[in-house]
Amino acid sequence: MTNVSCPALMISAPSSHQGKTTVTAGLAHHHRRSGRRVKVFKVGPDFLDPMILEYASGNPVHQLDLWMVGEEQCRQLLFEAAADADIILVEGVMGLYDGIPSSADLAEKFNLPILAVVNASAMAQTFHAIAHGLATYRDGLSFAGVVANCVASDRHAEMLGEGGSPAIPYLGSISRDQEIALPERHLGLVQASELKDLESKLDVAAYKLLETKILDLLPAVEFAEPETTSYPRLLEGLKIGVAQDDCFSFLYPANLNLLESMGAELQSFSPLNQSVLPDVDSIYLPGGYPELHLDQLQDNLAMRRSIREHFESGRTIYAECGGMLYLLDTLTDKEGRKADMLGLIPGHAFMQSRLARLGYQEVQFPSGFVRGHTFHHSLVQPRIAVALRARHPLTGQEGEAIYRIPGIYASYLHLYFPSNPVAVAGFFLKS
């Protein structure tokens, strides 16, 4: 087998909200502006961070996850990126050692050097104790360095520059600046398409990196060629309409690639902005933010009628999370405003202020397990029976419900399609 070498770096941290996405996006933006082809990956099941990273790099951002994606598919994605890119950036998830498997597990498996980002606000020399702990907590990892984020002043930066740990190089500091802050809402960052000043934020972030030694980090990594993966052409000639707009946007690029690899022809459409569904055999309604677009979804009577006619003609619909909420009779937001949805699944959903479910889950189908995750603030009250139940892979506890009526599969789960192509094909074919 052939090995391919490419500069690569994992950006991680001691916890969430340290600035991983800002630093990764700033790096991608800088290298892209410098004429380099940048491929960025995100560890774990995330949709919102990858939108920012895709904008910064100019390329789709795939997930790397040793459980959901699997080691061999991670190897394939990295090998393909290394053969095509000038630099690979991987943004970690949560803290470096958090989760089973963790970002550290992925870094060790593929020999990825780690850049640690630490929010240094309200600390000085303790910053180096945290950095030392990250670097020495376990063997088998390579650290390219650590950078201090959210630094308050020149004097603060001077204190952080005093001392340091021999276990991890200190690469400098990034000053606190609202101009590079990425706004958040429930579920995570605001979508890239909604940030009108994203380009200027990335310009400032990239400029701030010039004040550190981070841009000098181009450690070469060798990536081994994986076994070739081929997919059955079970969807040959099938036309699938994929909802894609500010409301329905939680899509893994790997899911769309798999459908095309199995022979499907994909056509995007917008339930928000279009009045007629394309001429398709099946519909894919992904997750997103229907609760933020209640009036527009309700008032688009022509699209609602078009989707209902699609279903009534015997064609299929696959929906997950926000897509499932759109199939219900009504959806009520946190302020109590209720709107009519498609009415194809009898029942109602209600938004709440706290998280309802979070974590990996898998579903057993006749052809095997399909893996994915769940992350939502709403509660659903359907008036149909549960067809299947997901389970938590570590505990075996009961997870999300899968609802099945002729022509429809729907659940809260965001499934990773390549984990079981045969089962996934069944979501889109007539039963």
Active-site residues, by number, are 321
Contacts of residue 280, Cβ cutoff 8 Å, sequence gap at least 6? 239, 240, 241, 267, 310, 315
Q: Which residues, at least 6 apart from 426, have a Cβ–Cβ distance to it below 8 Å?
A: 365, 367
| Residue 348 bridge partners (DSSP) | 330, 381
Q: Which of 39, 41, 81, 78 minimizes the C-alpha distance to 57?
A: 39
Of 25, 211, 12, the closest CA to residue 96 belongs to 12
Give the separation between CA 125 and CA 81, rounded to whole angstroms: 38
- Tokens 């980002």 correspond to 117
**What is the rounded distance in angstroms from the CA atom of residue 91 to the CA atom of residue 272?**
31
Contact between 204 and 179 (Cβ < 8 Å): yes
